[in-house]
Amino acid sequence: MNAKPMLSRLGWNIALVAAGLLLGFIFAAQWNITPETTQPASLSSREDLADTIRRLEDEQTALKGRIALLRSELTRLQDESTESSELLDELAADLEAQRIVAGLRSVRGPGIRLTLGDSAVENLPPNADLNNYILHDYDIRDVVNLLWASNAEAVAVNEERVVGTTAIYCVGNTIMVNDTRLSPPYEIKAIGDANKLDATLADAASLAELKARAKVYGLQYRAAQQAELTVPAFQGSFAIRYAGPAK
């Protein structure tokens, strides 16, 4: 037997054994090392995830509390808005009532209509006093004051609303109401208790001088109840020159 081939096979076997041992050592080393290197990383990820969950839950709890607070504030503001709206409605209604009383709104209702005018007599007696045959500013003032005394709620002369600042006066032969020149005949409308207004005007003691001139000199004087009248709003301004709020 040749010794050289045997030595060659023996060396080859030893090399294979050595290679096998080396591979086994490597596999053993990897088996032991892998659990030690991967396990801490897995624990770290789970801990980070748990921290993130806790942080998000805390943020969610805080947001829920903030939402509850904002809802409470919204409810409070809505309640205050409702109260303010009701108060504004009351103030608006009161303001509108005051505007009606002040004559700044057109109004409608039952009342009485009077027609006054100059005499229609054409052939006057000699030496006749012309003042007896024409209507004067004080005649209209007397009628308006009597209507107010009978609790009229709104009065107008030829569509000029009579208010607290209204002036009725003469300029020459012209009667002025609210600085507006009026022409006869003069129509006076008054809203109120029609029966009471009519009874006051029919009283013999009321407007006695005017009624006498109407009977003797032919001045126009007619009064009639109305189921419904419309009195226009005051179109002028309330100019205050001297008055001011008291302290």
Q: What string of H, E and C letters represents the secondary structure of 41-99?
A: HHHHHHHHHHHHHHHHHHHHHHHHHHHHHHHHHHHHHHHHHHHHHHHHHHHHHHHHHHH
pLDDT at 18 over 80: no
pLDDT of residue 13: 47
**Backbone phi, psi, residue 113, to 5°:** -120, 130
- The more confidently predicted of residues 56 and 160 is 160
* Model pTM above 0.75: no
- Residue 167, pLDDT above cutoff 60: yes
Determine how β-strand 168-171 pairs with β-strand 186-191. Answer: unpaired
Q: What is the torsion angle, in degrees rounded to the nearest 10, for the CA atoms of residue 150, residue 155, residue 158 and residue 161?
A: 150
Residue 185 has pLDDT above 50, yes or no: yes
- The residue whose two tokens read 């004080």 is 138
Two tokens, residue 7:
């030595």
What ranges do the domains of the chain cover? 10-102, 108-231
pLDDT-derived band at 4, boundaries 50, 70, 90:
very low
Instruction: Count CB neighbours of 145 within 10 A.
Output: 13
Number of H-type helices and E-type strands within the chain: 4, 8
β-sheet with 168-171: strand ranges across:
168-171, 174-177, 180-182
CA distance 135 to 210: 9
Residue 101 identity: V
- pLDDT value, residue 27: 47
pLDDT digits (tens, 9 = 90+) for 67-109: 888 878 888 888 888 888 888 888 888 888 988 988 999 999 9
Strand order in the sheet with 107-117: 160-161, 154-157, 186-191, 107-117, 220-231
For residue 135, pLDDT over 80 is answered with yes
End-to-end CA distance of the chain: 145
Cβ atoms of 229 and 129 closer than 8 Å: no
Query: Phi and psi for 146 in degrees, rounded to 5?
Result: -65, -40
Structure tokens at 193: 């208790």
Query: Cα(221)–Cα(119) distance, rounded to whole angstroms?
Result: 10
Pairing of strands 180-182, 174-177: antiparallel
Question: Worst-scoring range by mean pLDDT, 30-39, 87-96, 202-211, 214-223?
Answer: 30-39
- The one-character DSSP state at 208 is H
- Choice among 28-32, 39-43, 196-200 with the minimum mean pLDDT: 28-32
Task: State residue 81's pLDDT score.
Answer: 81
Question: pLDDT at position 10, please?
Answer: 47
Spatial CA neighbour of 186 closest among 209, 160, 164, 212 = 160
Highest mean pLDDT among 41-50, 68-77, 109-118, 234-243: 109-118
Pick among 3.30.70.1880, 1.20.840.10, 1.20.200.10, 1.10.940.10: CATH of 108-231: 3.30.70.1880
Q: What is the pLDDT of residue 42?
A: 65
Q: Highest mean pLDDT: which of 59-73, 120-134, 174-188?
A: 174-188
